[in-house]
Structure 1
Amino acid sequence: MRVIDLSTPIDASKWEPEAVVHEITTPAEGARHMSAEMLEHFGVHFDPAVLPDQELLSIDTLTLTSHTGTHVDAPSHYGSRASYGEPRHIDQMPLEWFQRPGVVLDISGFGVGAVRAEQLAKELDRIGYRPQPLDIVILRTGADRLAGTPEYFTSFTGLDASAVHYLLDLGIRVIGTDAFSLDAPFGHMIKRFQESGDASVLWPAHFAGREREYCQIERLANLDALPVPFGFTVSCFPVRIAGAGAGWARAVALLDA
């Protein structure tokens, strides 16, 4: 079996709108910390010098949002109420949604803005595939080449409401993108709203999740490494964070060797 990594790393050295803080306790510091803890809590004197190289274990402490790096959005992220009932959190979503046959749609030629349903249908016709219920559809926008820069958050292609509902009508319950968001960039949406006064242009892909239950995978990467547009499996199990609107995921594509 061939495994292709479709995930972006969580990297505190890269630019993020909400900065990642990564604090590292080195193995040597870990040994000294453990020695102090042993004395404080158990009254035991322990000399780290008896350890190989006077080291114990490293510890990484991170401060970040659940939407940093590749992650899965749960229905509760889209709003506190939904027409179908109480939106579920990420730890409540069915695991069978997150390892399914995948299909990648190339929308990299559309530029900044939102793709419509008919444009997705045209791309499916081009590759000759009809999605089956619970397939995972992932969108290659090409935005992942900008990851780690401010432009990653302002220059990408999203979906409008018609495109999301088109996929949901096919039985899709997980839609992924290599862009920062499944919606068009914030600035693009605000400009359209200011010009038209039409609030439906604001976060239509996310707000579709208030009408129908589905999950998004955002901030995928490396979709151009997929050798075929379908005929592979996507595995993207989210971390089980209780009561959260999203969970980080190590998304991969699984192909027969």
Structure 2
Amino acid sequence: MRYIDLSTPIDASQWEPEPVTHEIVTPAEGAAHMAKEMRENFGLEFDPADLPDGELLSIDNLTLNSHTGTHIDAPSHYGTRADYAADGRPRTIDEMPLDWFFRPAFVLDLTGAGVGTVDAEFVEKELERIGYQPQPYDIALINSGAWRNAGTMAYFTDFVGLDASATNLLLDYGIKVIGTDAFSLDAPFGHILNTYAQTKDKSVLWPAHFAGRQREYCQIERLTNLDMLPQPYGFKVAAFPVKITGAGAGWSRAVAIVEE
């Protein structure tokens, strides 16, 4: 089997709308830190100088939100209302079934669509082009080409997403997870707001996300390397979310598994 990494890194050196900080505590600093912790919390004494090279272990302290890097949006991210749930409460990322995130997958090529959204007709034509009939619980992947701008401001402004009809078409197939290499499964925020200012049509306001208020599903955002998949289907994706209690999203190391 061949493994293709579909994940973008969490990199504090790259531009993000929500800044990331990454403090690296060196092994020597880690030794001093551990000596202090052992003394204050457990009354135990040891001298870091007794360690080989005076070093213990490095530590990484990061500040970031759960939508940095490749991550999975839970239903609770879409709002507080879940029309499909008996209790009206959308599930958080730690509550999602793991079997949603290790499934056969297929990829749709939207690279020629331009900035904005595509509709159900566009998706149907792309499925016809690749000759694939989606199956329940497949993971649908959107190759928008946004990965080319990763690490720049353009990554957050120049990409294509799905409108309500395209999102619902995929959900009609029984799909529970839709992934994209873009910042969002919707159109860029600026495109959404400019379109709404011109039309006053509320249906253009984050339709892919808001579809999750009526139908339970998850999104994987900020994937990469979708162009490296050797075929549009016939592979699996593993993308388990980090288990953050009560969170609307969790980071993921998404990987495509291709049998050769």
Matches within 5 A, 1:101-112: 101-112=104-115
1:152 to 155, 158, 172: 155
Paired residues, what number?
257
Q: What secondary structure does 1:100 align onto?
A: strand
Compare 35-44 and 53-62 and name the one that shifted more. Answer: 35-44
Q: In 1, Cα distance between the equivalents of 2:233 and 2:207?
A: 27
Q: In 1, Cα distance between the equivalents of 2:137 and 2:159?
A: 26
- How far is 1:39 from its partner? 2.5
Counterpart for residue 175 of structure 1: 178
Q: Give 1:53's aligned amino acid.
A: D
Q: Give the TM-score normalised by structure 2.
A: 0.97
Q: Percent identity?
A: 69
Structure 1 residue ranges without an equivalent (≥5):
none
Counterpart for residue 41 of structure 1: 41
- How far is 1:33 from its partner? 1.1
Matched, 1:247 2:247: no
Q: In 2, Cα distance between the equivalents of 1:228 and 1:119?
A: 20
Deviations 1:206-257 (A, max 9, x none): 0000010000000000001000000000110000111000000000000112
Q: Which runs of 4+ in 1 moved over 6 A?
A: none
Q: Assess, with a 3 A threshold, how the Cα gap between structure 1 residues 44 and 94 changes in structure 2: closer, same or farther.
A: closer
- How far is 1:192 from its partner? 0.8
Matches within 5 A, 1:126-205: 126-205=129-208
- How far is 1:40 from its partner? 2.4
Q: In 1, Cα distance between the equivalents of 2:162 and 2:115?
A: 11
Q: In 2, Cα distance between the equivalents of 1:49 and 1:111?
A: 60
Q: In 2, Cα distance between the equivalents of 1:43 and 1:97?
A: 47
Q: What secondary structure does 1:111 align onto?
A: coil
1:225 to 211, 224, 228: 228
Q: In 2, Cα distance between the equivalents of 1:230 and 1:139?
A: 12
- How far is 1:42 from its partner? 3.4
Q: Give 1:45's aligned amino acid.
A: E
Q: State the Cα RMSD in Å.
A: 0.8
2:100 to 97, 101, 110: 97
Deviations 1:73-105 (A, max 9, x none): 000000001211210000111111000000000
